[in-house]
């Protein structure tokens, strides 16, 4: 993560998911556990208060903790050790109730979920911001004709707003999925050593701790990881949606296409020896992230077959994988917001690119118009002939058709992009209107 942290990632996300925050979240779980047990009459509230008062990340020797992870194989064991010492100094009796009846995975999994919760809060806001940007650009370019391309070939006209509204529709889908999966993912892990609960981890304690932490109470998922994998695949899809945007923009930035550009910034994407270059540097980061994320999702998936009540290795493989998934997706999201906000659109170039095929992209228009008079078959043949002539003589199809004396009214109109954008405007409006619904 180090050298390229500013390139692939976003500072605000790095902070959200820092190792200090992870330890802090584990301490929040220990604190909530003690409080919940006090509520259930399992220990004196005053003792729970003492435990909670020691659950401060500032009091933890993080370097020591990291060194000791190798012994027990997870971060909770050395953390509980340090926490118990801290509490013992305050009150010997209270120290007996630290981590009372819990297991390491209870603490680590619940802390992971707390991290996801903070991240989700951030993510929802940032997705909204991106949606707003996409609504805005779709409105602005609702009527800007450009060529639609399939299999990398010019096909027929659309408007640039239709393209951006498509991106928007994908984001709206991600937004909807996120709102649904939250209830599956944001749940407590608190069921003791083998997931069966015990005298100190009762249903009541579990519910109470879940309430304190703002999570849902549920049975053990120590070796049932579907919800974390759904979360991962959601991030994968979101990254893919962002990658799709960056892919289109990087292609549109090609020297030979040159229809849109990343916003210019001093020193950004340029080259002193190649003054004509406008490198898609932001796109490159988003694309790189989108190309790394799918494999991380597959790691989460292939790690689902966790043995018995806790796995030897597959659980451990999740820790950094989940972190990387959130860091990469978060970085891409921040970068995509910047990209859309500062996007430069060259409407003139879009217009001139529409003329590159010398009218051939309008051939079907002519054919349909002619069909009304001559029938479809005849029309098709005639236009096919005209197209071939146009290509052979390198002349504009409109000229060729005009000379053919076919009595087509409004020939000029058939060769205008704005008359060939189908239902683009209606579709754009519908997608934007859906984005408003989601808002409410």
Compute the distance between CA of residue 338 and CA of residue 19 in angstroms, rounded to an integer. Answer: 27
Q: How many residues bind a second copy (CB under 8 A)?
A: 166
The residue from 128, 182, 292, 416 that contacts a second copy (CB under 8 A) is 292
Give least dist CB 108 to a second copy, A. Answer: 10
The one-character DSSP state at 360 is G
- Residues numbered 214-233 forming contacts with a second copy, rule: CB under 8 A: 218-227, 229-230, 233
Of 56 and 96, which has the nearer Cβ to a second copy? 96
The one-character DSSP state at 15 is H
Of 128 and 278, which has the nearer Cβ to a second copy? 278
Compute the distance between CA of residue 284 and CA of residue 58 in angstroms, rounded to an integer. Answer: 38
Of 31 and 306, which has the nearer Cβ to a second copy? 306
Q: Are 430 and 166 in contact (CB under 8 A)?
A: no
Using rule CB under 8 A, residue 89 touches a second copy: no
Query: Strand ranges (DSSP E) for 3-104?
Result: none
- Residues numbered 318-347 forming contacts with a second copy, rule: CB under 8 A: 319-321
Compute the distance between CA of residue 84 and CA of residue 71 in angstroms, rounded to an integer. Answer: 18
The residue from 289, 329, 336, 435 that contacts a second copy (CB under 8 A) is 289
Stretch of 30-38, 50-58, 69-77, 339-347 lying at the interface with a second copy (CB under 8 A): 69-77
- Residues numbered 346-375 forming contacts with a second copy, rule: CB under 8 A: 353, 356-357, 360-361, 363-364, 367-368
- Residues numbered 24-63 forming contacts with a second copy, rule: CB under 8 A: none
Compute the distance between CA of residue 405 and CA of residue 128 in angstroms, rounded to an integer. Answer: 55
Using rule CB under 8 A, residue 8 touches a second copy: yes
The residue from 52, 188, 192, 339 that contacts a second copy (CB under 8 A) is 192
Of 46 and 180, which has the nearer Cβ to a second copy? 180
The residue from 54, 158, 210, 408 that contacts a second copy (CB under 8 A) is 158
Give least dist CB 132 to a second copy, A. Answer: 19
Give least dist CB 155 to a second copy, A. Answer: 5
Compute the distance between CA of residue 51 and CA of residue 28 in angstroms, rounded to an integer. Answer: 11
How would you write 164-197 as a 3-class SS string?
Answer: HHHHHHHHHHHHHHHHHHHHHHCECCCCCCCCCC
Q: What angle do CA 401, 159, 148 make, to 5 degrees?
A: 65
The yes-or-no answer on residue 271 being catalytic is yes
The residue from 117, 128, 149, 216 that contacts a second copy (CB under 8 A) is 149
Using rule CB under 8 A, residue 64 touches a second copy: no
Using rule CB under 8 A, residue 120 touches a second copy: no
Using rule CB under 8 A, residue 398 touches a second copy: no
C-alpha distances in angstroms, 341 versus 94, 130, 338?
Answer: 54, 9, 5
Give least dist CB 176 to a second copy, A. Answer: 7
Provide the phi-psi class of 359: left if phi over 0, else alpha when psi is between -120 and 50, else beta: left
Stretch of 45-53, 121-129, 153-161, 404-412 lying at the interface with a second copy (CB under 8 A): 153-161
Catalytic residue among 5, 118, 271, 433: 271
Q: Are 289 and 334 in contact (CB under 8 A)?
A: no
Using rule CB under 8 A, residue 182 touches a second copy: no
C-alpha distances in angstroms, 416 versus 103, 299, 352, 361, 365?
Answer: 70, 51, 12, 10, 10
Compute the distance between CA of residue 324 and CA of residue 5 in angstroms, rounded to an integer. Answer: 12
The residue from 215, 290, 322, 334 that contacts a second copy (CB under 8 A) is 290
The yes-or-no answer on residue 2 being catalytic is no
Using rule CB under 8 A, residue 296 touches a second copy: yes
Length of the chain: 440
Using rule CB under 8 A, residue 152 touches a second copy: yes
Compute the distance between CA of residue 216 and CA of residue 207 in angstroms, rounded to an integer. Answer: 8
The one-character DSSP state at 225 is -
Name 183's Cβ contacts closer than 8 Å, sequence gap at least 6. Answer: 216
Give least dist CB 76 to a second copy, A. Answer: 11
Task: List the structure tokens of 192.
Answer: 């003791």
Using rule CB under 8 A, residue 394 touches a second copy: no
Using rule CB under 8 A, residue 409 touches a second copy: no
Give least dist CB 196 to a second copy, A. Answer: 4
Of 82 and 169, which has the nearer Cβ to a second copy? 169
Using rule CB under 8 A, residue 309 touches a second copy: yes
What are the backbone angles phi and psi of residue 237, rounded to the nearest 5°? -70, -40
Q: Are 173 and 103 in contact (CB under 8 A)?
A: no
The residue from 298, 342, 374, 438 that contacts a second copy (CB under 8 A) is 298
Give least dist CB 31 to a second copy, A. Answer: 20
Task: Just list the catalytic residues.
Answer: 271, 310
């Amino acid at each position: 993560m180090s050298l390229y942290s500013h390139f692939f990632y976003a500072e605000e996300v790095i902070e959200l998911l820092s190792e200090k925050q992870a330890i802090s979240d584990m301490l929040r779980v220990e604190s909530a556990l003690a409080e919940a047990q006090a509520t259930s009459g399992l220990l004196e509230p005053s003792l729970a208060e003492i435990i909670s008062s020691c659950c401060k990340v500032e009091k933890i020797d993080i370097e020591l903790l990291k060194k000791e992870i190798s012994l027990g194989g997870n971060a909770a064991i050395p953390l509980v050790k340090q926490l118990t010492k801290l509490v013992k100094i305050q009150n010997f009796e209270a120290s007996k109730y630290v981590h009372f009846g819990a297991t390491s995975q209870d603490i680590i999994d619940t802390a992971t979920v707390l991290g996801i919760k903070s991240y989700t809060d951030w993510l929802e806001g940032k997705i909204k911001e991106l949606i707003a940007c996409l609504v805005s650009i779709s409105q602005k370019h609702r009527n800007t004709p450009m060529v639609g391309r399939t299999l990398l070939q010019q096909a027929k006209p659309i408007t640039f707003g239709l393209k951006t509204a498509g991106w928007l529709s994908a984001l709206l889908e991600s937004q909807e999925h996120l709102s649904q999966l939250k209830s599956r993912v944001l749940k407590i892990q608190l069921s003791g050593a083998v997931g069966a609960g015990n005298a100190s981890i009762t249903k009541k304690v579990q519910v109470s701790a879940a309430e304190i932490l703002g999570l849902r109470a549920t049975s053990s998922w120590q070796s049932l990881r579907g919800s974390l994998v759904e979360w991962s695949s959601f991030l994968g899809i979101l990254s893919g949606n962002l990658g799709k945007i960056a892919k289109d923009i990087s292609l549109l930035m090609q020297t030979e296409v040159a229809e849109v550009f990343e916003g210019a910034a001093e020193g950004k994407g340029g080259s002193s020896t190649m003054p004509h270059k406008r490198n898609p540097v932001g796109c490159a980061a988003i694309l790189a992230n989108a190309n790394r994320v799918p494999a991380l999702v597959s790691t989460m998936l292939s790690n689902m077959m966790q043995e018995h009540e806790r796995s030897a290795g597959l659980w451990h493989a999740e820790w950094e994988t989940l972190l990387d998934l959130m860091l990469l997706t978060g970085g891409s999201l921040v970068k995509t917001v910047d990209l859309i906000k500062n996007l430069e659109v060259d409407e003139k170039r879009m217009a001139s690119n529409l003329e590159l095929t010398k009218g051939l992209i309008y051939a079907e228009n002519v054919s349909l118009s002619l069909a009304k008079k001559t029938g479809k078959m005849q029309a098709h043949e005639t236009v096919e002939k005209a197209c071939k002539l146009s290509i052979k003589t390198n002349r504009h199809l409109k000229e060729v058709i005009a000379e053919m004396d076919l009595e087509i009214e409004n020939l000029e109109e058939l060769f205008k992009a704005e008359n060939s954008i189908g239902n683009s405007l209606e579709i754009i409006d519908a997608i934007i209107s859906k984005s408003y619904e989601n808002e409410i």
